[in-house]
Every structure is written in C-alpha cells, then in structure tokens.
Amino acid sequence: MDGTFPDEKPLQKGREYLSVTRVAGPLIAVSGVEGVAYGEVVEVTVPSGERRAGRVLESREDLAIVQVFGGTEAIDTTRTSVRFTGETMKLGVTEGLLGRILGGTGEPIDGGPLLIPDTMRAISGNPINPSAREFPRDFIETGISAIDGMNTLVRGQKLPIFSGSGLPHARLAAQIARQARVSGEEESFSVVFAAMGITYEEGDFFIRNFRETGALEQAVVFVNHADDPVIERLITPQMALTVAEYLAFDLGYHVLVILTDMTSYCEALREVAAAREEVPGRRGYPGYMYTDLASIYERAGRIKGRKGSITQLPILTMPNDDITHPVPDLTGYITEGQIVFSRDLHRKGTYPPIDLLPSLSRLMQGGIGEGRTREDHAAVRDQMYAAYARGRRLRGLVAVVGEESLGDIDRLYLTFADRLERGFLRQPEDERRPIEESLDMAWQLLGTLPESELTRMEPAMIEEHYPRQTEG
C-alpha cells in the first residue's frame, strides 16, 4: 500500500499537465489547469522519471499551487509532468498496520508483506463533535511519581513533553509507552509512533525499545528522518492520527500516540508559509499555526459509546529552552497541560528531569480521588506544590543573601525542595512506582514540615495521613 495515493486512480482526460510555471521552495505553480480541487492529490513526475506526491494548496480557474512532499529538487518548468488524481488525500487503514514500520508518507519500509487496506480514510480527518466527546477520566498509572502524583495523565488526554536538545525526552516517552497501564485492566496501550525530522539514532532508539519490550507488535511506526524531505513531515502526523482513529474508534484499541519532534513539524510549516510569501506571524511562523496544530492535537480523546481512546504524547524541543517560543507556546494553548523538562535538573543528574512548577495536567482533577487513585491525592498535590514552590523561591533568595538569613521554618522549606528533587522526583528509568507508593513518599516529605504548615488541607486529612514518629 502506498499511503499517499488512492488505490484507484481514475485518470481523467486532460488532467495531466506539463505546465509548471514556477518553482519556489516546496511549492510549484501549474498553469492552464482546469477544475482542480482544493486539497487534491497530485503526482509529480520529474524529468528523471522519479514520482513525488503533492497536494493542492490553492486552486484558481487556470492555476494551481501545489505543495510537493518529496521536495522540489530537480523539478523544471519544461519536462516535469503533473497529474491531478481527482482525489483528496487518503490513507488505507487496516489492523494489519500493527507491527509495521512506515515512512513519513505511509509507505512500508520494513520489507514486510503487502498491506491490504480495510478502508480508505481522508487523512485530514473530521473534527470530533464536541457533544460526542466523553470527558476523559481514567487514571493512567505511568509509574512515574512526578506524573502520577503531581500531574496525572488520563486516558484520552493530550499531554506534551516540552524538552530541549540533548534532554532525555525519548527515554521518558519510551518509559511511559512501556509502563502505562490503567488500573484494573490488563490490556496495555497500542502505540502509534510518528517521528518527524528525527535522527537515525533517535529513531532506532524507539524502534529498538519497542522491539525489545514486545511493544512493536502492538505499534504502528511512521518515520520521517532528519534528512528526508522536510515537507513530507507535514503529512506524517495526519497519517499517524488517521491510523490511530481507526484503531481507537473503529476497532476499540486504547492508543497512545507519540509525536516527535513537533518543532520539526512546525519548521516545515514555516517553510511553506515563506514560499507562499505569506505575512509571517511571530518569529516567522505562520499566523494559522495555532489552527494547524489544533487540527493535530484535537484528534485525541474519547467518544461516548465507543470503547477505544486516543491519548497523545507529543514531544517538542524548545529552541533555546525558551517556553515562550511559538512552538511550545501554541502547543501549551491547545494541549491539556505539559510536562516541562529542566536542563538544571538534568545537569544535576536527575531523571526524569521534570520541572514541576511549569508542568501541569489539566485533566488530573477528574482522574484522581477516591475510587480512582486515593482520597487524599488532590490535597497532597496542592500541599506539595505550595511547599515546593516556597522552597524554590527561598533557594533563589539564599543564592543571594545566604542561608543564615533564613528563619527556622524557611529552612525547613528549603530542605523540603531539595529532598523532593532528590527523592520523590528522581527514580530509575526502569522503576514502576505504584501510585500508593508515590503518595506515601509525598506524605513522608510533608512530614518534614510541622502540621501547622499544612494549611492546604483539612485537619481530618492530616490526622489520617501525617506520619507520626513512633513513641519517644
């Protein structure tokens, strides 16, 4: 199966042209055309005979502007032929995709058997009707305290990792994929993995990881490497999510979608915008990037009356570790929280290097508490955050004025922050800490503060959980 082209190719008369009039960046203009549909799939044949896929970005009566996914190298204005297929972009989907490795545009690259699609799906997808959505509430235990205890993930959530170059986001994503379970259910997640512009090394890391843990059989892998055509990346996430929707909402799988690296995706978007000479938005990224990213991230969730779910774990690297950069910024405005990495913690050898303060899970509230995790969970999280934030503020102060200037209580907070980072936060990459254990560890930490400091919770809760010294 070739992902890009529909299996039937109804050749319409007069639909093949040799009239490329302009090539600019990843775009070509084809003139003298007739009845070209917006979004139509195009097949471009360069003089050497090589064929590339494209898509119509703008259609006028006699002119079509086409974005060429394989790049525009070697395209000329005399011998290149452009065929309009009369179809919008579709992907053949089947359960048989599980266990397969595909290129960025959906063609198998693992030498496996031919794929027979069950059905063809438009890769741009349709928005889930908001009134059909089931609000996601099933707690996913990842076994990672910083997530489960403080920024809980639920099934159907989109929760990105905001990382930086050289930080261990791939390891964390692989760990989550490996360990994530919903309590009371045996079944693990099926993974749809979409790599955009990643290195061979990182791609191999994931594939090896999936293979070693047996996850590959339950995974569909799309890989666009850093040296593959940049424009190709623009359809990789759409392909991946089309497969994910089929697996989740047609076949009932619980799907974990890992998208990496969204920053590379956005760069491709910027390249197209520049070629179209559009008015650039912030830092050269197009003004419609929010909408474009939303059309990817919103393809997560649950649907009433359907069994499956799509949980998204997009990864992005923040250029210069700057969280206000348009890619993390617009992502944060769409996703349901974010896990933010800290280079400082990483330097100190902390794994996972999660900076708790800017991290957030917006769907945590509905996924925790009695009957889901534990009745004290929300209160513990609030108190931990309050205490840690105070400790961190004091740490900044101490750096300037020295620890001597602190009062006794302040010193306790300072120590609290250190202990939290060294104990609660830090854990081995293969450790799967149950939620009870995470919460108990949190109470041990809270026990280093006097009870009178625990004002984010009701006295009854302190009564029940506050660690008391045994006699003496």
Partner 1 sequence: MTLTGEVVRISGAVVSARRLAGAQMYEVVRVGDDRLVGEIVVLDRDVATIQVYEDTEGIAPGEPVTTTGMPLSVELGPGLLGSIYDGIQRPLDVLRDAGGDFIVRGLTAPGLRRDTAWDFTPAVRPGDRVEGGDILGSVVETEVHEHRVMLPPGVQGRVEEIAPAGRYTVDEIVAAVRGGGRTRRIRMRQYWPVRKPRPIRMRLEPINPLISGQRVIDTFFPLVKGGTAALPGPFGAGKTVVQHQLAKYVNAGIIVYVGCGERGNEMADVLRQFPALVDPTTGRSLMNRTVLIGNTSNMPVAAREASVYTGITIAEYFRDMGYDVALMADSTSRWAEAMREISGRLEEMPGEQGYPAYLASRLADFYERAGRIAAIGSPGREGSVTVIGSVSPPGGDFSEPVTQNTLRVVKVLWALDADLAHERHFPAINWLTSYSAYIGAMQGWWAEHAAPLWAEHRAEMMAILQAESELLETVQLVGEDVLPEEDKLVLVQARLIRDGFLIQSAFHPIDTYCTVEKQYLMLELLARFFGLARDAVAAGASAAAVGGLAVRSRLERMPFVPNERFADEYRSIGQEITEAFAGLSAGRGVIG
Ligand X SMILES: Nc1ncnc2c1ncn2[C@@H]1O[C@H](COP(=O)(O)OP(=O)(O)OP(=O)(O)O)[C@@H](O)[C@H]1O
Q: Which of residues 383-412 bind partner 1 (CB under 8 A)?
A: 385-386, 389-390, 393, 397, 400-402, 404-409
Distance CA(352)–CA(350), nearest Å, equals 6
Taking the complex as a whole, how short is the minimal distance between the CB of residue 419 and partner 1, in angstroms?
Answer: 18
Q: Is 24 in the site for partner 1 (CB under 8 A)?
A: no
Per CB under 8 A, the list member of 2, 43, 329, 437 interacting with partner 1 is: 329
Identity of the residue, 38 or 333, whose beta carbon is nearer to ligand X in the bound complex = 333
* Cβ contacts of 397 within 8 Å, gap of 6 or more: 405, 406
Distance CA(381)–CA(374), nearest Å, equals 11
- Would you say 255 and 190 are in contact if contact means Cβ atoms under 8 Å apart? yes
Taking the complex as a whole, how short is the minimal distance between the CB of residue 214 and ligand X, in angstroms?
Answer: 35
Among ligand X, partner 1, none, what does residue 419 contact (CB within 5–8 Å per kind)? none
Partners of 108 in beta bridges? 102
Distance CA(340)–CA(325), nearest Å, equals 14
Question: What is the C-alpha end-to-end distance of the chain, expressed in Å?
Answer: 73
Q: Which of residues 340-379 bind ligand X (CB under 6 A)?
A: 360, 362
Taking the complex as a whole, how short is the minimal distance between the CB of residue 74 and partner 1, in angstroms?
Answer: 27
Q: Which of residues 297-316 bind partner 1 (CB under 8 A)?
A: 298-299, 301, 303-304, 306
Partners of 67 in beta bridges? 27, 55
Distance CA(446)–CA(384), nearest Å, equals 7
Taking the complex as a whole, how short is the minimal distance between the CB of residue 29 and partner 1, in angstroms?
Answer: 13
Identity of the residue, 79 or 133, whose beta carbon is nearer to partner 1 in the bound complex = 133
Identity of the residue, 84 or 206, whose beta carbon is nearer to partner 1 in the bound complex = 84
Among ligand X, partner 1, none, what does residue 81 contact (CB within 5–8 Å per kind)? none
Binding mask 135-174 for partner 1 (x = CB under 8 A): xx-------------------x------------------
Q: Which of residues 222-241 bind ligand X (CB under 6 A)?
A: none
Distances (CA, A) of 402 to 391, 395, 450: 14, 9, 23
The beta-strand segments (E) located in 263-336 are: 301-302, 309-317
Identity of the residue, 196 or 364, whose beta carbon is nearer to ligand X in the bound complex = 364
Q: Which of residues 52-91 bind partner 1 (CB under 8 A)?
A: 57-61, 88
Q: Which of residues 175-234 bind partner 1 (CB under 8 A)?
A: none
Taking the complex as a whole, how short is the minimal distance between the CB of residue 129 and partner 1, in angstroms?
Answer: 5
Per CB under 6 A, the list member of 116, 333, 422, 455 interacting with ligand X is: 333
CA atoms within 13 A of residue 381's CA, in its CB half-sphere:
24
Q: What is the identity of the amino acid at 200?
A: Y
Q: Which stretch binds partner 1 (CB under 8 A): 73-81, 164-172, 378-386, 413-421?
A: 378-386
Distance CA(180)–CA(82), nearest Å, equals 46
CA atoms within 13 A of residue 331's CA, in its CB half-sphere:
30
Among ligand X, partner 1, none, what does residue 136 contact (CB within 5–8 Å per kind)? partner 1
Q: Which of residues 335-374 bind partner 1 (CB under 8 A)?
A: 336-338, 357-358, 360, 362-363, 365-366
How would you label 182-200 residue by residue, b for 16+ Cβ within 10 Å and e otherwise? beeeeebbbbbbbbbbbee
Beta-strand pair 119-122/90-93: antiparallel
Q: Could you tell me if residue 237 is left (phi over 0), alpha (psi between -120 and 50 degrees) or otherwise beta? A: alpha
Distances (CA, A) of 107 to 192, 207, 396: 15, 17, 52
Taking the complex as a whole, how short is the minimal distance between the CB of residue 245 and ligand X, in angstroms?
Answer: 24
Per CB under 8 A, the list member of 16, 76, 217, 278 interacting with partner 1 is: 278
Per CB under 8 A, the list member of 45, 99, 110, 288 interacting with partner 1 is: 288
Q: Is 320 in the site for partner 1 (CB under 8 A)?
A: no
Among ligand X, partner 1, none, what does residue 406 contact (CB within 5–8 Å per kind)? partner 1
Q: What is the identity of the amino acid at 365?
A: Q
Q: Which helix (H) or strand (E) holds 270?
A: helix 262-275
Q: Which of residues 83-122 bind ligand X (CB under 6 A)?
A: none
Distance CA(325)–CA(321), nearest Å, equals 9
Report residue 285 CA to chain centroid gap: 19
* Cβ contacts of 242 within 8 Å, gap of 6 or more: 91, 93, 121, 122, 123, 125
Q: Is 458 in the site for partner 1 (CB under 8 A)?
A: yes
For residue 74, how many other CB atoms are within 10 A of its CB? 13
Among partner 1, ligand X, none, what does residue 226 contact (CB within 5–8 Å per kind)? none
Identity of the residue, 128 or 360, whose beta carbon is nearer to ligand X in the bound complex = 360
Identity of the residue, 154 or 231, whose beta carbon is nearer to ligand X in the bound complex = 154
Q: Which stretch binds partner 1 (CB under 8 A): 199-207, 226-234, 329-337, 432-440?
A: 329-337
Among ligand X, partner 1, none, what does residue 38 contact (CB within 5–8 Å per kind)? partner 1
Distance CA(378)–CA(229), nearest Å, equals 46
| Sites of contact with ligand X (CB under 6 A) | 333, 360, 362
